Structure 1
Amino acid sequence: MMKPLLFAFVFLSACQTKNTKKENLQSTEEMKSKTDTTLIASLEVDSVVTLTDSISVLFLVNNPTEDTLRFTQYHTPFEGFMSNFLTITDEKGNEVSYIGAMTRRVMPPPEDTYHSLAPGQTDSVRFILNKGYRFDKAGLYTIQYNGGSVNGLSSDTIVKLNIQ
């Protein structure tokens, strides 16, 4: 009596393992699919400026996919300084103070806040960094876009800025 039950238990356990592997394979495929449909955000800035300069930054959103995709301008420079969409730190890891507005927004975002990008297209906006962030001293800074959790933009670009 024990041998048939043991056999049934081992057989069912093996079946469960196969299902788990199939689910993991499906999750991997889903992740790959999501990665293939992501808009990419990046920043461009002159690497050396002076403390009294207006620091011009170019924010770009690129669609590397074969589909037309869209994103909301929430938490991007396309809406101006309405949120702290950048992480800026000095050489010691101290965060630079954000001095722009902090706006509450309607969720889900209204249709007129969306930008559409055709396959291979890039949209961009230029903004003055020190209108939204306070730089008190010269030094080496790192800048990274952090607003992607709100609008789905992907970014792993870190730019360096040397303020003299």
Structure 2
Amino acid sequence: MKNYQILSLALLALSSCGVRTSNQAEQQADSTRSVADTAAIEKTLTAEMTIKDTIKVGDSVLLKFTVKNNTADTSRFCKWHTPFEPLMSKYLDITDENGNGVNYKGPMAKRIMPPPASSYVTLKANDSLTVNTDLLKAYAIDKPAKYTLTYNSTGISGLTVKKSVSFVYIK
């Protein structure tokens, strides 16, 4: 009988060595995820938008859109919902200083899924590609105000744009 008690106590002691509270396990998983997520972000395609700070009414509203390949390998992105294709979709959310959205007046393409190979753009390692587009061709920016542009199509193109950009439209 004593042998069973000793054996039971030994098993209990050994089994508790590998037990973690759920909070400890979650904290370790979170720290592992954040390290992995940071590494993945540094090795992805990113995009950056730039625009003049001030634009006069009647002038073109030119957005400069640059995609960067921050990897050591050739990568590709889908040009759908980016300025790298002719205006076919609303890939920006544009709002004035009061939070009012600017209407998109361009075409809205219906797409087949998955995207065909011809819809992808390839970038060599540590390379970049830039395109300029006139937003007046697709967005109803028609009154003087401060506008903010936010890229809204990461899920389609695979591109991450970290910062919104703003400009003042003046008479």
Task: Give CA deviations for 1:73-120 in whole Å, capped at 9, x if unaligned.
Answer: 011011122111011110011111111111121111111111111122
Whether 1:62 aligns to 2:64 is no
Partner SS state of residue 27, structure 1: helix
Task: Give CA deviations for 1:55-85 in whole Å, capped at 9, x if unaligned.
Answer: 1221111112222111010110111221110
2:158 is aligned with what amino acid?
G
Structure 1: gaps spanning 5 or more residues:
none
Whether 1:131 aligns to 2:131 is no
Shift of the alpha carbon at 1:23? 4.8
Whether 1:115 aligns to 2:121 is yes
Q: Could you say if the C-alpha distance between residues 43 and 12 of structure 1 is closer, same or farther in structure 2, counting changes exceeding 3 Å?
A: closer
Task: Give CA deviations for 1:31-63 in whole Å, capped at 9, x if unaligned.
Answer: 233212211111122221122222122111111
Q: Max radius of gyration: which structure?
A: 2
Q: Could you say if the C-alpha distance between residues 139 and 113 of structure 1 is closer, same or farther in structure 2, counting changes exceeding 3 Å?
A: same
Q: Could you say if the C-alpha distance between residues 57 and 21 of structure 1 is closer, same or farther in structure 2, counting changes exceeding 3 Å?
A: closer
Residue 96 of structure 2 corresponds to 90
Paired residues of 2:69 and 2:127 also in contact (CA < 8 A):
yes
Q: Could you say if the C-alpha distance between residues 135 and 13 of structure 1 is closer, same or farther in structure 2, counting changes exceeding 3 Å?
A: same
Cα distance in 2 for residues equivalent to 1:53 and 1:66? 40
Q: TM-score, normalised by structure 1?
A: 0.85
Q: Could you say if the C-alpha distance between residues 8 and 151 of structure 1 is closer, same or farther in structure 2, counting changes exceeding 3 Å?
A: same
Structure 1 residues 1-164: aligned runs within 5 Å: 4=9, 7=13, 10-14=16-20, 23-24=29-30, 26-164=32-170
Q: Percent identity?
A: 33
Shift of the alpha carbon at 1:138? 0.3
Paired residues of 2:93 and 2:151 also in contact (CA < 8 A):
yes
Q: Could you say if the C-alpha distance between residues 132 and 25 of structure 1 is closer, same or farther in structure 2, counting changes exceeding 3 Å?
A: same
Indicate the larger mover: 25-34 or 79-88. 25-34
Partner SS state of residue 135, structure 1: coil
Indicate the larger mover: 19-28 or 132-141. 19-28
Structure 2: gaps spanning 5 or more residues:
none
Task: Give CA deviations for 1:126-158 in whole Å, capped at 9, x if unaligned.
Answer: 111011100131011111222112121111122
Q: TM-score, normalised by structure 2?
A: 0.81
Superposed CA RMSD = 2.6
